[in-house]
Structure 1
Amino acid sequence: MPGPDIRTDENVHGEMSTTPTTTVHSGVEAKTEKKLTVLETHGYILGRTIGSGSYATVKVANSDRHNCQVAIKIISKFQAPGDYLKKFLPREIEVVKGLKHENLIRFLQAIETTHRVYIVMEYAENGSLLDIIRKDQHIDESRGRRWFRQLVEAVDYCHERGVVHRDIKCENLLMDNSLNIKLSDFGFARGHMKPKNGVYALSETFCGSYAYASPEILKGVPYRPQDSDIWSMGVVLYAIVYGRLPFDDTNYTQLLKQVQNKVSFPREPKISTECRKLITKILAPLKLRAKIPQILADPWLSPHQSSKDEDLDAKPDAASKEEIKSVNMNGTVTFDRKFEEVK
């Protein structure tokens, strides 16, 4: 398996290591073998499962080395697609090793064996943003502003270092014990994407989740992933304040039409004009889409803005009167639908 600094235990058969111990039976000293798992040899004791997919499982573990709980992503080499093992997984490990930001899940260690790859990460004990939205139905603007700013700053940090995420969504925004956003899951991330002579490299790998995908990705044309990350952040902001997704991903043809039209807003909950304006600036055609510096300076997001939201009771604008084709975030739709190529 290519990839930087992955500890390899290829001599381990069945992913068990053996440590000889001595026991005494009826006064006769005999040697026995105490079997340890690969993770145990590295000081990790697995606990409960907190996530699972078609070829990976995430478990909580106690770590002697770090003296805390960690999250371990366990990837089966037999079940994972070859393209993922050869391309995306090594890229993910390379990318996350170089990132350190308070709003990014911290990478701790990678371990490879004959059958599996283990990625050890910081554990965010308060679940995901999606969990909170489903519980609270929607997020008030005060909390939403704080969390969205944390997301924007995390993505800005990544982009400044030439890293694009390409799978920003509510499920991948985890919460630590102080309820701070932690962007996670860099499985589709790519590094070395800084512009050269002012020219940004385009991506032709169409990855992510339909409901959060930008129009250019859905059209299947080469795209600048930084701009697509920004679009996905706009979908997240909409989901935060409205408790639902702005676009219905159950029908691709309809979805493609929706993302190319001006975003519409439901009448309830009542959201400030400033917030709606910011969402509109982000969920906009490529040429008009806001950049990160514009988003950080936006009146709704700026910490220097009083944000009194005097117009909460104002009449809904024309867009609010349109039919709302959004998806409730109550578990009735599939949120993790992935695609690798759009025809």
Structure 2
Amino acid sequence: MPSPVASVHQPSPPNAAAHSHGTQSAPEADKEKKLSVLESHGYFLGKTIGTGSYATVRVAHSERHEGSVAIKIVSKFSAPADYLKKFLPREIQVVKGLRHPNLIRFLQAIETTHRVYIVMEYAENGSLLDIIRKDQVIDESRARRWFRQLVDAVEYCHERGVVHRDIKCENLLMDAEWRIKLSDFGFARGHVRSKNGQPSLSETYCGSYAYASPEILRGIPYQPEYADVWSMGVVLFAMVYGRLPFDDSNYKELIKQVSNKVSFPKDPKISSTCKSLINKILAPLKSRIRISGIRGDAWYTFEPVPGII
């Protein structure tokens, strides 16, 4: 399912941003009736770029931002109660405090009786999944560049106590300069450190099976930062091989696969250093590499010598 392709300004609180029906003169009131809630905020809807069971994402022209934005439109009638009461407010709260070149920027939230509108940066070049489907595989040079951007984004979040918990190719969007933008913080959680500094465990088992760490699949309380790292390894594998490392069509088989060493396809031919890094990420929790280790890895730090292939 496509994710919001979405840029953060001074965010407005959800309720404060809602359409106001203050005291108006009759002509003003008549004019206001003719405008939709979004139009009254300067947003003019365009094509649909993503659909889900209770949310739609559409491109819109923004007068304020002088260009295109993406708007996630959540129906209060279709969305589950726990999503509206727990996950959606948490998503808005989390993204309001984040600003990084490799994160989709939150712009504004508007709430009405029937809907919640989340206005975001528009990433016009689609998702990483779209690119993999088109190109089949991503060469290691491009994969390295995009993986570094993903690491930057995730480390930035983790340093601020935010875990994403749904890192996957569909949620990695591309802006006009073909830079990675991590999006969709619908399962994100803040304040992951407890008061004594020890990691706070998650017990919400969210995200996609194919990208989920073994501890999530087994349903045990887990450290979400390390589950994010696992998902990043699945993304790296998907880029260089053009397919996912694990088959999520059978849950019991999936548990077996994630418990064993990664099986690498014969083609395409991938460098031993790249495979080594993937092995270090897609590893049991006790031996799984941390972000600091990834930053020091030989494949990650490799810089080709100009003029030498």
3-state SS of paired residue (2:44) = strand
Q: Check whether the contact 2:17–2:109 (CA below 8 A) recurs between aligned residues.
A: no
Aligned to 2:6: none
Aligned to 1:290: 289
3-state SS of paired residue (2:157) = helix
Aligned to 2:4: none
Structure 1 residue identity aligned to 2:13: D
Deviations 1:295-330 (A, max 9, x none): 0111101155769999xxxxxxxxxxxxxxxxxxxx
Name the CA distance, whole Å, in 1 between partners of 2:267 and 2:87.
40
- Structure 2 unmatched ranges of 5 or more: 1-11
Pairs within 5 Å for 1:45-64: 45-64=44-63
Name the CA distance, whole Å, in 1 between partners of 2:113 and 2:241.
46
Q: Check whether the contact 1:161–1:194 (CA below 8 A) recurs between aligned residues.
A: no
Name the CA distance, whole Å, in 2 between partners of 1:10 and 1:99.
25
Aligned to 1:140: 139
State the Cα distance separating 1:199 from its structure 2 match: 1.0
The alignment covers a number of residue pairs equal to 295
Query: Against the structure 1 CA distance between its residues 143 and 304, is the aligned structure 2 distance closer, same or farther, given a 3 Å change threshold?
Result: closer
Aligned to 1:109: 108
CA RMSD of aligned residues (A): 2.3
Q: Check whether the contact 1:272–1:309 (CA below 8 A) recurs between aligned residues.
A: no
Structure 2 residue identity aligned to 1:5: P
Aligned to 2:261: 262
Structure 2 residue identity aligned to 1:55: Y
Higher strand share: 1
Name the CA distance, whole Å, in 1 between partners of 2:71 and 2:39.
13
3-state SS of paired residue (1:245) = coil
State the Cα distance separating 1:141 from its structure 2 match: 0.3
Deviations 1:54-97 (A, max 9, x none): 00000000000111100000000000000000000000000000
Q: Check whether the contact 1:51–1:58 (CA below 8 A) recurs between aligned residues.
A: yes
Query: Match for 1:5 among 10, 13, 23?
Result: 13
3-state SS of paired residue (1:103) = coil
Pairs within 5 Å for 1:70-89: 70-89=69-88
Larger radius of gyration: 1
3-state SS of paired residue (2:299) = coil
Query: Against the structure 1 CA distance between its residues 86 and 307, is the aligned structure 2 distance closer, same or farther, given a 3 Å change threshold?
Result: farther
Moved more, 32-41 or 252-261: 32-41
State the Cα distance separating 1:197 from its structure 2 match: 3.7
Query: Against the structure 1 CA distance between its residues 45 and 221, is the aligned structure 2 distance closer, same or farther, given a 3 Å change threshold?
Result: same
Name the CA distance, whole Å, in 2 between partners of 1:73 and 1:37.
16
Aligned to 1:238: 237
Deviations 1:186-231 (A, max 9, x none): 0000001135444100000000000000000000000000000000
3-state SS of paired residue (1:109) = strand
Structure 1 residue identity aligned to 2:291: I
Q: Check whether the contact 1:274–1:309 (CA below 8 A) recurs between aligned residues.
A: no
Aligned to 1:339: none
Structure 2 residue identity aligned to 1:106: R
Query: Against the structure 1 CA distance between its residues 216 and 305, is the aligned structure 2 distance closer, same or farther, given a 3 Å change threshold?
Result: farther
State the Cα distance separating 1:294 from its structure 2 match: 0.4
Name the CA distance, whole Å, in 2 between partners of 1:166 and 1:85.
18
Query: Against the structure 1 CA distance between its residues 154 and 307, is the aligned structure 2 distance closer, same or farther, given a 3 Å change threshold?
Result: farther
Structure 1 residue identity aligned to 2:61: N
TM-score normalized by structure 2? 0.90
3-state SS of paired residue (2:73) = strand
Pairs within 5 Å for 1:320-339: none
Aligned to 2:121: 122
Deviations 1:213-262 (A, max 9, x none): 00000000000000000000000000000000000000000000000000
Q: Check whether the contact 2:165–2:227 (CA below 8 A) recurs between aligned residues.
A: yes
Name the CA distance, whole Å, in 1 between partners of 2:75 and 2:246.
33
3-state SS of paired residue (1:126) = coil
Aligned to 1:276: 275
Aligned to 1:131: 130
- Structure 1 unmatched ranges of 5 or more: 13-17, 23-30, 311-343
3-state SS of paired residue (1:241) = helix
Moved more, 140-149 or 301-310: 301-310
Name the CA distance, whole Å, in 2 between partners of 1:240 and 1:223.
26
3-state SS of paired residue (1:57) = strand
The alignment status of 1:36 with 2:35, answered yes or no, reads: yes
State the Cα distance separating 1:289 from its structure 2 match: 0.2
